[in-house]
């Protein structure tokens, strides 16, 4: 059975993150100007992905759904989620994806997102082992946290515009994506 057939697919959207230690999990998302950071502890076999729309922290006094649009909030949730499950900060490695300039007449928020993610990870001492950022078209991203493997597929112009429309919808509160139910 190949990796694709055996994979447990977990999709995330803007404002979400997912951390998993399942060896056959693949986390997927669609990116335009948004950025996804993929982090993992290769020794512990724990990793995850986030998906944020805007760089930095945003204006003061924000909470809930508004915060989920901003990179600093989702970066901290992702890192802390990995550490809570047994990952070690000094072993974390990262890959960064997305940040396209999807609308020529707008400011390049995609470039700002990519720069933010890169600087945030450097400031946190987390090694960046790969990236695919920029360009004019969106991407579909697949990330296997157990192996660190990532694959991107370029979107067409029409698919990118659909992604831009999704990115412009109101934010929902940041939350982990539940992929299983646990009974106590």
Q: Which residues are designated catalytic?
A: 34
Closest CA to 150 of 73, 97, 113: 97
Residue 78 · residue 19 · CB < 8 Å: yes
The order of strands in the sheet holding 8-11 is 8-11, 25-31, 139-144, 149-154
Residue 28 · residue 91 · CB < 8 Å: no
Structure tokens at 109: 């928020």
CB atoms within 10 A of CB 173: 12
Torsion sign over Cα 52, 53, 55, 57: negative
Integer CA distances (angstroms), 60 to 56, 115, 117, in order: 11, 21, 20
Q: Output the CA angle 42-76-183, nearest 5 degrees.
A: 75
């Amino acid at each position: 059975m190949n990796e694709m057939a055996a994979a447990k697919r977990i999709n995330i959207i803007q404002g979400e993150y997912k951390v998993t230690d399942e060896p056959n999990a693949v986390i997927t998302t669609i990116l335009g100007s948004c950025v996804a950071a993929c982090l993992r502890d290769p020794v512990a076999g724990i990793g995850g992905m986030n998906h944020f729309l805007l760089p930095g922290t945003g204006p003061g006094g924000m909470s809930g759904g508004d915060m989920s649009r901003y990179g600093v909030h989702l970066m901290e949730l992702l890192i802390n989620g990995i550490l809570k499950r047994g990952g070690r900060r000094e072993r974390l490695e990262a890959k960064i994806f997305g940040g396209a300039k999807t609308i020529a007449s707008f400011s390049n928020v995609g470039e700002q997102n990519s720069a933010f993610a890169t600087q945030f990870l450097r400031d946190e001492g987390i090694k960046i082992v790969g990236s695919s950022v920029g360009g004019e078209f969106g991407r579909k991203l697949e990330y296997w946290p157990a192996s660190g493997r990532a694959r991107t597929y370029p979107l067409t112009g029409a698919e990118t515009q659909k992604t831009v429309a999704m990115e412009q919808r109101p934010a929902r509160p940041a939350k982990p994506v539940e992929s299983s139910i646990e009974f106590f």
